[in-house]
Amino acid sequence: MALRTSTTERQRRLGAELKKLREQAGLNVTDGGAFIGMGRAHLSHVEAGRTAIPTDKLRKLCHSYGCTSAPYIDALVSMSETDGKGWWTEYRRLLKPPALDLAELEAAANSLASYESLFIPGVLQIADYTRAIFRSSQQDWSDKDREKAVQFRMDRQKILTTDQPPALHAVIHESALHVRFGNADVRRRQLLHLVRMAKLPHVIIQVLPFTAEGLSAFSTPFLLVESHQSTLHTVLAETHAASAFLHDADSFTKYRSHFHRLAAAALPPLDPDVAAYDHGTHDSLGLVQHILYTLQEH
């Protein structure tokens, strides 16, 4: 039994789901392993994501635990059978595991809900805006590494233009539209890019204005991901210290409730198809147009 020297978020998630099913069935590791002829230590490694589990044993284990949801079991099988390789593989030497895990997670997503307080969401950034962020935050990178990291973020955005793209709902705090990453031209082009992306039928973009009340507690960015036909849910909670992937139902329910409150307090979505005279600063496009006007003065 070969053990992995490092594990991905997907591998840890699969193990965590199997552990959750076992505990819900009221079984210990020894009893769980007995169903599939697997020793206690071996199943412990599976639940920790340190080793794989054959598909037939995975299905038998789920049924032995009393799981009857075929879509959920199929989702676990899909996670187990994939080799985890994708376009992000070539960036392994440069970027840390959380960034690669996010790319893999987004690739399997059918729905994304993003809240950002100081940045435009990564999947909606233009290259020059991303480049300006990295110049200020990754000053120890070489120009070559910085450009490769910029390309990584641009490659992430391709999920929005695939044949079956995930639905994206982004709530962006107004402060992110004012923070200066790049010169006035870069910021103007970034805002115009938001307007263009809002034309996609599966993309909703809202701005949370400074005037919104009672939401100061929600300053920490987070991302809600639904994957495998919404049978699996993940929260990516961002802090200055680290990124945390949360899978438990309570966390997802809490953050989803936060997101609904933020969306309800935000201005109506960007809608480039509405005639200009119908817009004002009371909606997201009107606010973006107002900021664009101020940038033209620079």
Buried b / exposed e across 138-169, counting CB within 10 Å, b at 16+? eeeeeeeebebbbebbeebbebbeeeebbbbb
- State pTM to two decimals: 0.91
Residue ranges matching CATH 1.10.260.40 in the chain: 9-81
Q: Is 238 exposed, middle or buried (0-12, 13-18, 19+ CB in 10 A)?
A: middle
For residue 235, give the H/E element and its range: strand 232-238
CATH classification number, 87-295, choose in 3.90.190, 3.30.70, 2.60.120, 3.30.870:
3.30.870
Q: What is the pLDDT of residue 53?
A: 96
Distance in angstroms (rounded) separating the CA atoms of residues 57 and 61: 6
The confidence band for 296, taking pLDDT boundaries of 50, 70 and 90, is confident
Percent of the chain with pLDDT over 90: 79
pLDDT recorded at residue 271: 85
CB atoms inside a 10 Å sphere around CB 225:
22
pLDDT in tens, 27-47: 999 999 999 999 999 999 999
Q: Which CATH number fits domain 9-81: 1.10.3720.10, 3.30.720.200, 3.40.50.2300, 1.10.260.40?
A: 1.10.260.40
Confidence at 218, pLDDT banded by 50, 70, 90: low
Domain limits, CATH 3.30.870, in the chain: 87-295
Q: To which H or E segment does residue 167 belong?
A: strand 167-173
Of the listed ranges 115-129, 210-224, 262-276, the least confidently predicted one is 210-224
Mean pLDDT (whole number) for 102-119: 96
* Of 37-51, 116-130, 234-248, 250-264, the least confident: 234-248
User: Is-contact 273 199, C-beta < 8 A?
Assistant: yes
pLDDT at position 275: 54
Mean pLDDT of all residues belonging to the chain: 92
Tens of pLDDT, residue by residue over 125-176, are 999 999 999 998 877 889 999 999 999 999 999 999 999 999 999 999 999 9
